Amino acid sequence: MIDTLRLTAEEALGLLERREVSARELWDAYRAAIDERDGELHCFLSLVDEPAGEGVPIALKDVIGTKGIETTAGSKILKGYVPLYDSTVARRCKEAGLVTLGKTNTDEFAMGSSTENSAFGPSRNPWDPTRVPGGSGGGSAAAVAGGLAPWALGSDTGGSIKQPAALCGIVGLRPTYGTVSRYGIVAFASSLDQVGPTTKTVRDCALLYRTIAGRDPSDSTTADVPEVELPEREDLRGVRIGVPKQMVEAEGIESGVKDAFERTIQLARELGAEVGECELPLSVEYGLPCYYLVAPAEASSNLARYDGVRYGLRAPEDAYHAMVMRTRDEGFGDEPKRRIMLGTYALSAGYFEAYYGQAQKVRTVIRREHAEAFERFDVLASPTSPTVAFELGAKTQDPLAMYANDLLTIPSCMAGLPGLNVPCGLSEGLPVGLQLIGPQFAENALFAAGHALERALGFDRVPERLR
Amino acid sequence: MAITREHVLHVAKLAHLDLTEEEVERFREQLSAILEAVSKVSELDLADVPPTSHPLDLVNVWREDEPRPSLSADEVFANAPDREDEFFKVPPTSEVREP
């Protein structure tokens, strides 16, 4: 009997290698879990009927282009779109023997923090189905937390891997910008988008990151990646951890989140880490407004391609311009429209310097503040999300309240830095996430620190109601 | 800053969005609130700070310029809403007047 709620991907690989279970048995176990629980959780937008290989299954966020498998990015405008080629990450997964189970739910074009912006309905949190799993990669996170997939890939622009991982009590890595190819990924904001793993353990995360990372001739923004080391050590001796003062004192952090975070920092000290305070005042104060100028501006440009001509939805109209405008109005949901409008405004004549130009300068300030912090520390630590998972519908009417979910995840994204979420406890019976940030290309340091803390914390990642 | 109905209509036109009346009013309110929040970036005096357009300091990334197989025409048109021979077919782009 395979317990998909507990089995890690590393254990699944071991079972296959030792021939203790067959690839078919493994596949069937996850399919049975999907049959049992996906009706409630709605993690998947599409499922693959037959396994295309003999390896460990994986779920892919539906912004990841998969040859022959519908890829919608959670949008009506791409409903029925079937890519003609694999994204580089999908190809690398295939080459490593991983078998795609299906495509997971996402806020439309990865724009959101709850999956409630998906055109195909929200996903639900396995810890409490009346609550959101976070977003945009809530489908991937809920699938892993709910035992519907051993691991999954997500994509992160301002927190879409880290925040859902935090809300679902699992591990998620947003890698350094440029370490994972964006070739074949549905574009949202090209200077920010990164694909990364969503997993049960830090070691699984390192394994999957090793599979997908590396320079890609098809994406000129990729760089050479240091060799990925699987973490072994269970202490933190010699590790300098900085706690950005403004990130723990930020408005809106729930007291239960703060308590769990502080207990974890105390544990880090006991494991031998040198913990100190550091400062990121401008990054925390200006990160969110900076992001909500840069990302929509880039999105307005990237989403200009959806014109009803070459693929995707086309509204029936007798004249070309009317067809394009009707297609876009009918095909995009509210959030992409809001961001296209905001981005178009920020880029328009007379406003460009004051908005987009200024935001790009703020980005430099954020990079500099982080660089300064990393002169004294190896890793920075904060809560990942200011709150635990919230109720469905709680923030859908107020875009600014929804955007505030990403307060703590956004600054490092603006600086192109890697960030790891590790579950660090419960508040009101719901998972709290620890965010670890490193310098560019320091994923190994994040895995090492995350692994040691994960072992010491002993967090039971199986949702209480499913134990 | 407060966004007027004319602003919304102008931006919607630039963005090729044919908004409904209800959307125009809703986006006017929401964009006003969002723009007010993001305008916070203008508080900082950053005259001497260079912009960041890209988080990595990569320059001149080249790959070998080698011929590779491309998609067949049928593959290229597989997702097209409409085609005629080797072309994407769209409705008329300008009004046709009878002589």
Per-residue pLDDT reduced to its tens digit, A227-244: 999 999 999 999 999 999
pLDDT score of A166: 98
Q: Where are the alpha helices (DSSP H) in A9-86?
A: 9-17, 23-41
Q: Rounded to whole angstroms, how far apart are CA atoms A392 and A264?
A: 28
Whether residue A399 lies within 8 A of chain B, CB to CB, comes out as yes
Q: What are the residue ranges spanned by the domains of chain A?
A: 9-279+366-466
Q: Which residues of B touch A318 (CB under 8 A)?
A: 91-92
User: Please, how many CA atoms are within 13 Å of residue A405, restricted to the half-sphere of its CB?
Assistant: 30
Q: Is A136 an active-site residue?
A: yes
Q: Measured on CA atoms in the order A141, A142, A144, A148, is the torsion positive or negative?
A: negative
Give how far B3 is from chain A: nearest CA, Å.
10
For chains A and B, count residue pairs whose Cβ atoms are closer than 8 Å. Answer: 178
pLDDT score of A1: 81
In the structure, what pLDDT confidence band is assigned to residue A425 with cuts at 50, 70 and 90? very high
Which pairing describes strands A419-427 and A430-437: parallel, antiparallel, or unpaired?
Answer: antiparallel
| pLDDT, greater one: B3 or A62 | A62
Can you tell me the mean pLDDT for A262-286? 98
Q: Rounded to whole angstroms, how far apart are CA atoms A410 and A414?
A: 6
Catalytic residue chosen out of the listed positions A118, A123, A136, A382: A136
Q: DSSP label at A233?
A: -
Whether residue A238 lies within 8 A of chain B, CB to CB, comes out as no
- Is the bond into A136 cis (omega within 30 degrees of 0)? yes
Query: Within 10 A of A83 (CB to CB), how many other CB atoms are there?
Result: 21
- Per 3-state DSSP, chain B is made up of helix, strand and coil in percentages (nearest 5) of 35, 5, 60
A355/B38 touch (CB, cutoff 8 Å), yes or no: yes
pLDDT score of A448: 98
A286/B41 touch (CB, cutoff 8 Å), yes or no: yes
In the structure, what pLDDT confidence band is assigned to residue B96 with cuts at 50, 70 and 90? low
Contact A247, A277 (CB under 8 A): no
Phi, psi values for residue A196, rounded to 5°: -160, 170
Whether residue A331 lies within 8 A of chain B, CB to CB, comes out as no
Give how far A140 is from chain B: nearest CA, Å.
26
Give how far B5 is from chain A: nearest CA, Å.
13
CATH 3.90.1300.10 matches A9-279+366-466:
yes
Q: Which residues of B touch A320 (CB under 8 A)?
A: 90-93
Lowest mean pLDDT among A65-74, A221-230, A456-465, B1-10: B1-10
B17/A340 touch (CB, cutoff 8 Å), yes or no: yes
Task: Take residue B92 and report the two structure tokens written for it.
Answer: 């008329």
Q: Where are the alpha helices (DSSP H) in A348-409?
A: 358-376, 399-403
Contact A313, A79 (CB under 8 A): yes
In the structure, what pLDDT confidence band is assigned to residue B63 with cuts at 50, 70 and 90? confident
Phi, psi values for residue A130, rounded to 5°: -85, -5
Helix (H) or strand (E) holding A456: helix A443-457
Tell the residue number behind the tokens 């509210």, with chain if given. Answer: A334
Q: What is the pLDDT of residues B70-83, one digit of tens each?
A: 999 999 999 999 99
Q: What are the residue ranges spanned by the domains of chain B?
A: 5-42
**3-class SS string, B70-88:** CCCHHHHCCCCCCEECCEE
Q: What is the pLDDT of residues A97-144, one digit of tens each?
A: 999 999 999 999 999 999 999 999 999 999 999 999 999 999 999 999
In the structure, what pLDDT confidence band is assigned to residue B32 with cuts at 50, 70 and 90? very high
In the structure, what pLDDT confidence band is assigned to residue B94 with cuts at 50, 70 and 90? confident
